[in-house]
Amino acid sequence: MSTDTNRTELLRKLSRNLMVSVPVMTVVAMAGATAVSDNGFSLIPSAEAAQGEAESEAKGEAEGEAKGEAEGEGEAKGEAEGEGEAEGEGEAEGEAEGEGEAEGEGVSEAMKQAVRRPEGYQPYEGDADSLAKKGETLFNDTTLSSNGLACATCHTNGAGYADTFSNDYPHFVAMGKSDFGMDMVHLDEMVQICMVAPMASQPLDWASEELAALTEYMRIEQEKFRNK
């Protein structure tokens, strides 16, 4: 294994941890809703994604409990012990579902959809040179993320990419498959994937100059990567 591959693996783990910790933070924040608004913690940029998680978790628990109670009532007619058993079962189910959400894929269905090219997609068109210049600035911009990272934090001088980066787009990317269920990704979709996953942020507006700029800059990065 080359050091590059090891580093990519490390970065992938890091991104996973980030993806899991943001929803968890939000769940905690939502539990103390008053404290949230007072401290302004509700301004977590990826709140939409995290909220989805929190909601499904809450739903998992609620469903589990409700089911347990209903079953318990039914059985209670026969014997008192039935109630206890059924309730226990219900709760366990709820917890298991909640855990699955938190430890599982980590990305909400809405976000999985949001990183895919929309129907009738018309990318922003501009002069390639000025797009590349803007793209380089954005590549180093930590304000694009919710966690203080810039693309450059992971990808300076061709670092952090797997070998698939040399392939013509669209192509298979491990993170696209494992976290977003995509068999193939276009380069602009890859930018959106890294915006959502390692950067813990929102996808860029599909028609925006920013997305076109980052995509053009990444195209140049790919050329450099191929010639390394």
Q: Quick check: 214 binds ligand HEC (CB under 6 A)?
A: yes
Closest approach of Cβ 213 to ligand HEC, in Å?
10
Distance separating alpha carbons of residues 121 and 143, to the nearest angstrom = 26
- Considering only residues 158 through 187, tell me which ones interact with ligand HEC, judged by CB under 6 A: 160-162, 164-165, 173-175
Q: Quick check: 114 binds ligand HEC (CB under 6 A)?
A: no
Member of 199, 200, 212, 213 binding ligand HEC (CB under 6 A):
199
Contact 175, 12 (CB under 8 A): yes
Closest approach of Cβ 87 to ligand HEC, in Å?
43
**What pairs with residue 185 in β-bridges?**
171
Closest approach of Cβ 9 to ligand HEC, in Å?
8
Which residues neighbour 166 within 8 Å (Cβ) at sequence distance 6 or greater?
222, 225, 226
Contact 173, 163 (CB under 8 A): no
Stretch that binds ligand HEC, among 6-14, 77-85, 103-111, 126-134 (CB under 6 A): 6-14
- Considering only residues 19 through 48, tell me which ones interact with ligand HEC, judged by CB under 6 A: none
Token duo for residue 36: 């949230």
Contact 162, 8 (CB under 8 A): yes
Please report where in the chains the tokens 């694009």 appear, as a residue: 144
Q: By CB under 6 A, name the binding residues for ligand HEC.
A: 8, 11-12, 14-15, 144, 149, 151, 153-155, 160-162, 164-165, 173-175, 190-191, 194-195, 198-199, 214, 218
